[in-house]
């Protein structure tokens, strides 16, 4: 419920702090005193439109802060949590309006959009006024109100659960059908791609291993080429072996051997030439052995390069990295398998969706039947409240219209609308279009008397619900406001002493002049001041003892 309202620099109000309690609070005062400013200020905090004209003349900005106590299960807590705002026992909605008309909104000092502020406000306060109707006049609330009156929350919960199950089954069916349709469109390509990739049989990590092996073999090939070139230099250059370093050494030795005797000086040279031939032969043997050890398998290098190029070609063709080819093969194979098994799975899903739809229809039909019974009871209960409110010719009609299947929802198959006729023979119509301002407020009051138990909104505001009535009718209005206030917090702006006498709290709104500026003030009345205010409302400008006695009678 609303626990306090702080207003700063709004129109004629410079500074005002109000504390509110449970039950019925009445606001009275002369016409033009500024009662509407209070309601407009509350409306600002609830997300209603902000205008530059609301800022007090000469001030840079106006502000309003409304503080609410939230019960543990109040829906505003869930909404706050969804928005990442701490949901505590106390919620402060604040609105600041600049002199140029721009505004900022806050919830528990967290900046929020005006749309969220309005959603929160609709969960906290319901306004029934001469011109602005919020709550019962909104057809989107009628189904939940009827269900609350009829105690159908459990049945409605079953409908919502069945609806979610049906939607989930239907969604699974659509996804399967879309996958099959897509697979069928790509079937030829799928089969070719799967066959091609299956033949390729890519293995995870294969590219890196092949690239490393290829690099190693290419380096070995270069070493082998160097060794072969060295060996070629030592080996004969013709088939007869007549050239090359070995042949030159042999030729040199033979020439020395032909020296005439004595040729002792040639002996060491011949020995050196022999050693050179031996060393050359040893070097040649070592090079030949190294050649056999270092030489890569030319076929293996070719195989590695062919495999690597094949993997990279597939990668380019399918526009994926080589490392993703194994996963691609699995995915395409799964799609192909889904195509092959799709018809059977789709049939099973279609059967499940049909069963889920039938379950929803069954639960929703039961809810419609229960709503029909509850609607007749609600019409009868409201009819019992109308005659004392001088609406004896008015009748509430609750229409349950079947929705098109595309509009079926978690709240059922039918659209619930509260309609009213104010005269016999008149075709029922929407509440705000058939009744006048005063009639509509009293119709709303009659509905609230009956529906107060199921209302999720803890605070109701009635703006001149007693307009155009008096005497016994006004007393009936006051009595019903008090009954509603037994369950909900009620604020009422009234000109009727019969209504004002019912209040648990009584505020008087007055306009005065301070300095050279008009100012609206609000004061809480003690018993003596309240008696005097009721006497003024009864007698007019001059308060008489008879008026005071009548005020005492009303208060008793």
| pLDDT at residue 273, rounded to an integer | 79
Residue 315: both structure tokens together:
């990668």
Tokens of 437: 């301002």
Percent of the chain with pLDDT over 70: 90
Q: Which residues in 494-515 are b (16+ Cβ under 10 Å) and which e?
A: bbbbbbbbbbebbbbbebeeee
Closest CA to 411 of 109, 153, 172, 97: 153
CA 201 – CA 213 distance, rounded (Å): 19
* Domain count of the fold of the chain: 1
Residue 416: strand pairing partners:
400
Q: What is the pLDDT of residues 414-441, one digit of tens each?
A: 999 988 887 787 788 876 666 666 677 7
Q: Is the pLDDT of residue 224 over 70?
A: no
Omega of the bond prior to 262 within 30 degrees of 0, cis? yes
Listing DSSP states for 263-286 in one string gives: -GGGHHHHHHHHHHHHHHHHHHHH
Whether the per-residue pLDDT at 135 is higher than 60: the answer is: no
So what's the pLDDT on residue 166? 95
Residue 321 domain flag:
yes
Mean pLDDT of 470-487: 85
| Residue for token pair 């192909």 | 336
Q: Which of 12-21, 89-98, 266-275, 526-535 has the lowest mean pLDDT?
A: 266-275
Residue of 135, 121, 127, 129 whose CA lies nearest to 64: 121
Give the pLDDT band of residue 360 (cuts 50, 70, 90).
very high
Structural domain including 196 reads 185-337
Q: Residue 159 is encoded by which pair of tokens? A: 């409908």
- Residue 210 included in any domain: yes
Fill in the DSSP letter of residue 525.
P
Q: What whole-number percentage of the chain has pLDDT above 90? A: 24
pLDDT: which is higher, 231 or 68: 68
Q: What is the mean pLDDT of residues 497-524?
A: 87
295 within a domain of the structure (yes/no) = yes
- What are the Cα distances from residue 142, in Å, to 104, 275, 361, 526? 32, 118, 21, 40
Q: Which residue has the tokens 């800022």?
A: 55
Does 220 reside within a domain? Answer: yes
| pLDDT over 90 (residue 226) | no
Q: Is the pLDDT of residue 503 over 70?
A: yes
- Calculate mean pLDDT across residues 237-259: 73
How many CA atoms lie less than 13 Å away from 179 in the CB half-sphere? 20
Contacts of 463 (CB under 8 A, 6+ apart): 36, 39, 127, 128, 129, 130, 132, 441, 492, 493
Nearest-angstrom CA–CA distance, 269 and 259: 12
Under a CB-based contact definition with an 8 Å cutoff, are residues 421 and 394 in contact? yes
The pLDDT, as a whole number, for residue 237 is 64
User: pLDDT averaged over the chain?
Assistant: 84
Question: How much is the pLDDT for 117?
Answer: 92
The region of weakest confidence among 48-62, 100-114, 238-252 is 238-252
**Interior/surface letters 186-195, b for 16+ CB within 10 angstroms, e for the rest:** eeeebeebbe
List all residues 6 or more positions away from 156 whose beta carbon is below 8 Å from its beta carbon.
147, 367, 411, 412
- Give the pLDDT score at 435: 60
User: What is the predicted pLDDT for the residue at 448?
Assistant: 81
Q: Which residues contact 309 (CB under 8 A, 6 or more apart)?
A: none
267 domain residue, yes or no: yes
Higher-confidence position of 451 and 113: 113
Tell me the torsion sign for CA atoms 372, 434, 465, 460: positive
What was the pLDDT predicted at 453?
66
* pTM for this prediction: 0.62
* 204 or 111, higher pLDDT: 111
Mean of pLDDT values over 306-320: 88
On the question of pLDDT at 536 being above 50, the answer is: yes
Q: What is the residue whose two structure tokens read 């019969």?
A: 498
**Does residue 521 fall inside a structural domain?**
no
pLDDT tens for residues 44-87? 999 988 888 889 988 899 999 999 999 888 888 888 888 888 87
> Is a pLDDT exceeding 50 seen at residue 131?
no
**Residue 519 banded pLDDT, cuts 50, 70, 90:** confident
| 233, pLDDT greater than 60 | yes
Query: Tell me, what's the pLDDT at 491?
Result: 92
What pLDDT, on a 0 to 100 scale, did the predictor assign at position 7? 92
């Amino acid at each position: 419920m609303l626990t306090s309202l702080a207003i700063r620099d709004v129109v004629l109000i410079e500074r005002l702090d109000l504390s509110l309690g449970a039950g019925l609070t009445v606001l009275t005062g002369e016409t033009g005193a500024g009662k509407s400013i209070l309601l407009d200020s509350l409306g600002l905090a609830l997300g209603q439109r902000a205008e530059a004209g609301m800022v007090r003349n000469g001030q840079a900005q106006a502000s309003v802060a409304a503080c609410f106590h939230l019960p543990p299960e109040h829906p505003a807590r869930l909404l706050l949590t969804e928005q990442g705002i701490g949901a505590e026992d106390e919620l402060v909605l604040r609105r600041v309006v600049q002199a140029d008309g721009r505004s900022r909104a806050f919830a528990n000092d967290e900046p929020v959009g005006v749309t969220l502020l309005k959603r929160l406000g609709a969960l906290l306060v319901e306004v029934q006024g001469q011109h602005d109707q919020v709550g019962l006049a909104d057809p989107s609330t009628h189904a939940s109100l009827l269900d609350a009156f009829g105690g159908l929350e459990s049945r409605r919960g079953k409908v919502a659960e069945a609806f979610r199950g049906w939607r989930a089954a239907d969604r699974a069916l659509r996804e399967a059908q879309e996958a099959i349709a897509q697979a069928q469109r790509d079937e030829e390509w799928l089969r070719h791609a799967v066959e091609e990739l299956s033949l390729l049989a890519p293995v995870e990590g294969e590219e890196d291993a092949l690239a490393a092996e290829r690099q190693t073999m290419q380096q070995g090939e270069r070493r082998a080429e160097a060794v072969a070139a060295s060996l070629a230099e030592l080996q004969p250059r013709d088939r007869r072996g007549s050239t090359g370093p070995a042949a030159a050494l042999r030729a040199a030795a033979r020439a020395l051997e032909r020296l005439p005797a004595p040729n002792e000086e040639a002996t060491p040279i011949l020995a050196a030439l022999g050693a050179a031939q031996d060393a050359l032969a040893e070097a040649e043997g070592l090079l030949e052995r190294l050649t056999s050890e270092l030489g890569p398998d030319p076929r293996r290098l070719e195989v590695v390069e062919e495999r690597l190029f094949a993997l990279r070609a597939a990668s380019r063709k399918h526009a994926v990295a080589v490392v993703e080819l194994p996963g691609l093969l699995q995915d395409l194979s799964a799609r192909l398998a889904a195509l092959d098994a799709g018809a059977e799975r789709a049939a099973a899903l279609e059967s499940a969706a049909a069963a889920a739809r039938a379950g929803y229809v069954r639960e929703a039909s039961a809810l419609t039947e229960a709503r029909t019974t509850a609607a007749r009871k609600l019409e009868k209960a409201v009819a019992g409240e109308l005659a004392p409110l001088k609406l004896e010719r008015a009748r509430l009609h609750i229409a349950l219209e079947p929705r098109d299947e595309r509009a079926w929802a978690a709240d059922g198959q039918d659209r619930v609308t509260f309609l009213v006729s104010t005269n016999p023979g008149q075709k029922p119509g929407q509440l705000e279009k058939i009744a006048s301002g005063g009639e509509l407020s009293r119709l709303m009051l009659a509905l609230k008397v009956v529906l107060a138990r199921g209302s999720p909104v803890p605070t109701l505001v009635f703006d001149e619900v007693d307009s155009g009535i008096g005497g016994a009718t006004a007393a009936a209005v006051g009595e019903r406001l008090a009954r509603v206030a037994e369950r909900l917090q009620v604020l009422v702006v009234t000109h009727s002493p019969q209504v004002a006498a019912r209040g648990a709290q009584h505020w008087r709104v007055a306009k005065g002049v301070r300095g050279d500026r008009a100012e609206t003030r609000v004061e809480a009345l003690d018993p003596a001041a309240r008696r005097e205010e009721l006497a003024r409302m009864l007698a007019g400008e001059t308060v008489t003892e008879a008026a005071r006695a009548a005020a005492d009678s009303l208060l008793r």
